């Protein structure tokens, strides 16, 4: 027994010795890799209340892509959180039912890796994805579908009823909350490990020298004060620490009751312009400089911003392959869409 | 040589003798199966001007799903011709840029099997998909993107430029017409053979007895007068032959300059409610009865309509598996969306 412990200690020691010191520095600054092992990852994305199964993921995916969950039949979860476009929509503020812009001019956050966030929504009012998914379906400026309309649409389609039974058992009650929950199960699987994770997981050559320089600068400037953890974000943080944002008048969002705002994940950030809660900045280097002045109270030069952006490119993750679903047909019982 | 010919004749004869007489009757009424052999099918869907290749199909698919081909970044080809929903949108009339309904209240036809139609658009004004695809991108109530905006969006993204080179050679000129054409190449592959085709191709048990009864009724009633060929539709036909449609005032569409209208394909019709050029009917049996009275001048009973609808269910086709694309990110040069 003692011998084995000793061997383990030596192995651990050798890992520490061989790893790039920058990887250690990143971890000491609170950055955390997506685990390489699927079993290890499951500890972060699985939930006892509604465990991930293949049947649920497939059903959740179908509902995620189904625009019949909206009043108009035109808007799905994927409309604003488009899995083809980094999990977001590429517009400054979400546009939904009747071409209505989000009243607070809020930008749609990426759904990729959102399971790794501690809270959901920009003001952090939702604790997890199963709860979050209930919001946009009902919101007037988004999918504008009352709970009972969503339930009637789904339960009017026998194939959906059958898939719920397969996923949750014969006695399943197909409530609005159950529908949102299975969408959340699908969303929990949308994790995208990147070369950055490979680097933190001990593959020293996974990042280029330029990316490593950018990471060093990211740490030196203090970006990891908010952008940390496995999501490189996802926690509530103070808002406008050093100065007012230059775009603060756009939409009038003020964060939660304490003026805190959810730090967005930096994963896949090169794919999710425009930036910030109100999508005011299109250029990543401009966004980096703005964060320096308003959150950190420092000036970040053009060259430094370029270098940090180079590092952020390494957070572009490997997306799960999604087979586009063929959805079951509506029936004569399915409520028809309305557009007003 | 003579011996081989004789053997071939005997084989042909035995096929004729063994085939269900209903399959022959269907063919004599002008119905035509999608060929079982891929080589044979290619004769119908391939084109010398822009031959189908894997590289083009993959690029065309990406563009088909890319909402950045619209002015707002919000509407893709797939928005109105949703491959998850039978290739259509499940609303009476297309709704596009600024939540604008199609001015003539025209229903979005399915993209599946549209390559098998002789003409495109309800008034048949477009000869093929490569031409058709140019329309919705530019149309103000649809994607509302001027040609040069579409070209600038695509050419500002290096990965797209690279994919065009791979598909068309290093010297490719990425024009608006080239973009539409490669989308058309992808659309040409969206053919969905069904059990009906299996039946016409000699698999007598591919249809149930109820479906065969429905097919017999479909032929007896004269539906195949317009719904014929491989598309079971897709040709220009007289409009309101026996009586005015009960919904004719909706949208005011009058067909082409001769009052002719493109007969919609019946393939996957059970998945593409609502029906008719203005999406006025939600129930398939109601649509069948309306066609009897206004186009054929006959009365179709409820039971007969049910039987025909049962046959039409056998036209629900096997969809090609579509891996949802991960699209290349926009760059600082990509024109940003506008919403007015």
Q: Could you tell me the CATH number of the domain that includes residue B107?
A: 1.10.760.10
Please write the tens of the pLDDT for every residue from B44-64.
999 999 999 999 999 999 999
Is B21 touching A (CB cutoff 8 A)? Answer: no
- Within this chain, do residues A47 and A184 fall inside the same structural domain, yes or no? yes
With respect to residue B290, please indicate whether it lies within any of the assigned structural domains. Answer: yes
- By C-alpha distance, the chain A residue nearest B63 is A84
Pick from A65, A68, A283: which is nearest to B90 by CB? Answer: A68
Q: Which of A142, A164, A188 is the last residue of a domain?
A: A188
Q: How would you classify residue B166: left for phi > 0, otherwise alpha for psi between -120 and 50, otherwise beta?
A: alpha
Give the pLDDT of residue A7.
44
Residue B234 has pLDDT above 90, yes or no: yes
> Is residue A13 in a domain?
no
Residues A53 and A181 in one domain: yes
The confidence band for B249, taking pLDDT boundaries of 50, 70 and 90, is: low
Q: Is B180 in the same domain as B82? A: yes
Mean pLDDT of all residues in A8-33:
76
- Tokens for B263? 């007969």
Identify the band that residue B202 occupies on the pLDDT scale cut at 50, 70 and 90.
Answer: very high
- % residues pLDDT > 90 (chain A): 90
Q: Do the domain assignments include residue B10?
A: no
One domain for residues B64 and B136? yes
Q: What digits encode the pLDDT tens for the residues A178-200?
A: 999 999 999 999 999 999 999 99
| Tokens 């229903």 found at | B107
| Contact (CB<8Å) A99/B99 | yes
The answer to whether position A339 is within a domain reads no
Tell me what pLDDT residue A250 has: 81
The pLDDT mean for chain B works out to 94
B74 interfacial to chain A (CB closer than 8 Å): yes
Q: Is pLDDT of B16 > 60? A: no
A149 & A273 share domain: no
- For residue A281, which phi and psi values (nearest 5 degrees)? -115, 130
Q: What residues of chain A lie within 8 A of the CB of B72, using their CB?
A: 91, 95
Residues A176, A200 within the same domain: no
Is B48 in the same domain as B129? yes
Q: CA–CA separation, A63 vs A82, rounded Å?
A: 14
Q: Could you say which of A188, A223, A258 is where a domain stops?
A: A188
Chain B residue with Cα closest to A327: B84
A72 has a pLDDT exceeding 70: yes
Is the separation of the CB atoms in B136 and B128 below 8 Å? no
Same domain, B62 and B181: yes
Q: How far is B318 from chain A (nearest CA, A)?
A: 10
Residue B131 counted as domain residue? yes
For testing the chain A interface, which of B83, B99, B318, B323 should be mutated: the one with the most A CBs within 10 Å? Answer: B99
Q: What is the mean pLDDT of chain A?
A: 94
Whether the predicted pLDDT of B28 surpasses 70: yes
Q: What is the pLDDT of residue B108?
A: 98
Read off the pLDDT of each residue in A88-102 and give the average, rounded to a whole number.
Answer: 97
The residue of B78, B83, B329 whose CB has the most chain A CBs within 10 angstroms, and thus the best one to mutate to test that interface, is: B329
B179 domain residue, yes or no: yes
Q: What is the dihedral of CA A57, A63, A64, A68, to 10 degrees?
A: 180
Contacts of A38 (CB under 8 A, 6+ apart): none
B324: chain A residues, CB-CB within 8 Å = 83-84, 322-324
Is ipTM > 0.90 here?
Answer: yes
Is the residue at B64 inside a domain? yes
In this prediction, residue B244 carries a pLDDT of 87
B142, B187, B211, B290: which one is catalytic?
Answer: B142
Residue with tokens 């909206």: A70
> What's the angle, vertex CA B99, arms to CA B93 and CA B105, rounded to 5?
20
State the pLDDT confidence band at A239, using cuts at 50, 70 and 90: confident
**Mean pLDDT along residues B263-275:** 98
Confidence of residue B1 (pLDDT cuts 50, 70, 90): very low
Q: What is the rounded distance in angstroms from the CA atom of residue B189 to the CA atom of residue B201?
A: 20
**Does residue B163 form part of some domain?**
yes
For chain A positions 106-125, those within 8 Å of chain B (CB to CB) are none
pLDDT in the model for residue B18: 59
Boundary (domain end) residue, out of B138, B159, B188:
B188
The more confident residue out of A239 and A328 is A328
Residues B175-197 pLDDT 10s? 999 999 999 999 999 999 999 99
Number of domains in chain B: 2
Backbone angles phi, psi at A260, to 5 degrees: -95, 155
Are B114 and B164 in the same domain? yes
Q: Is the pLDDT of residue A6 over 80?
A: no
pLDDT at residue A295, as a whole number: 95
Q: Is A84 on the interface with B (CB under 8 A)?
A: yes
Chain A contacts in chain B segment 30-59 (CB below 8 A): none
> Which pLDDT does position A246 carry in this prediction?
82
- Domain shared by A47 and A180, yes or no: yes
Say if residue A142 is in the same domain as residue A220.
no
pLDDT category of residue B245 using cuts at 50, 70 and 90: confident
Q: Domain range for residue A86?
A: 43-188
Does residue B123 share a domain with residue B58?
A: yes
Q: Is B134 on the interface with A (CB under 8 A)?
A: no
CB B194 within 8 A of CB B116: no
Band (pLDDT 50/70/90 cuts) for residue A18 is: low
């Amino acid at each position: 027994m003692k011998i084995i412990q000793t061997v383990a200690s030596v192995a651990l020691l050798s890992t520490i010795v061989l790893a790039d010191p920058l990887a250690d520095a990143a971890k000491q600054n609170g950055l955390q890799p997506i685990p390489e092992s699927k079993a290890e990852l499951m500890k972060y994305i699985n939930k006892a209340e509604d465990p991930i199964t293949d049947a649920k993921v497939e059903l959740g995916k179908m509902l995620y892509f189904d625009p019949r969950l909206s009043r108009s039949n035109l808007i799905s979860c994927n409309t604003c959180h488009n899995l083809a476009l980094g999990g977001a929509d590429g517009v400054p503020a979400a546009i939904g039912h009747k071409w209505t812009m989000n009243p607070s001019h809020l930008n749609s956050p990426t759904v990729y890796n959102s399971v790794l966030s501690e809270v959901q929504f920009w003001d952090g009012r939702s604790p997890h994805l199963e709860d979050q998914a209930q919001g946009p379906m009902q919101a007037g400026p988004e999918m504008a579908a009352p709970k009972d309309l969503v339930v009637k649409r789904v339960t009017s389609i026998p194939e959906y009823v059958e898939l719920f039974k397969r996923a949750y058992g014969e006695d399943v009650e197909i409530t609005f909350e159950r529908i949102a929950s299975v969408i959340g199960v699908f969303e929990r699987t949308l994790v995208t490990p990147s070369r950055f994770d490979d680097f933190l997981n001990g593959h020293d050559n996974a990042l280029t020298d330029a990316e490593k320089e950018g990471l060093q600068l990211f740490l030196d400037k203090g970006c990891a004060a908010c952008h940390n953890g496995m999501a490189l974000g996802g926690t509530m943080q103070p808002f406008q620490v050093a100065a007012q944002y230059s775009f603060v008048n756009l939409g009038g969002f003020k964060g939660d009751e304490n003026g805190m705002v959810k730090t967005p994940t930096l994963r896949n950030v090169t794919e999710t312009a425009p930036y910030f809660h109100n999508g005011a900045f299109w250029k990543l280097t401009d966004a980096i400089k703005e964060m320096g002045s308003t959150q950190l109270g420092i000036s970040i030069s053009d060259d430094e911003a370029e270098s940090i952006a180079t590092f952020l490119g390494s957070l572009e993750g490997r997306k799960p392959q999604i087979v586009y679903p063929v959805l079951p047909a509506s029936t004569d019982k399915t409520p028809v869409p309305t557009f007003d």
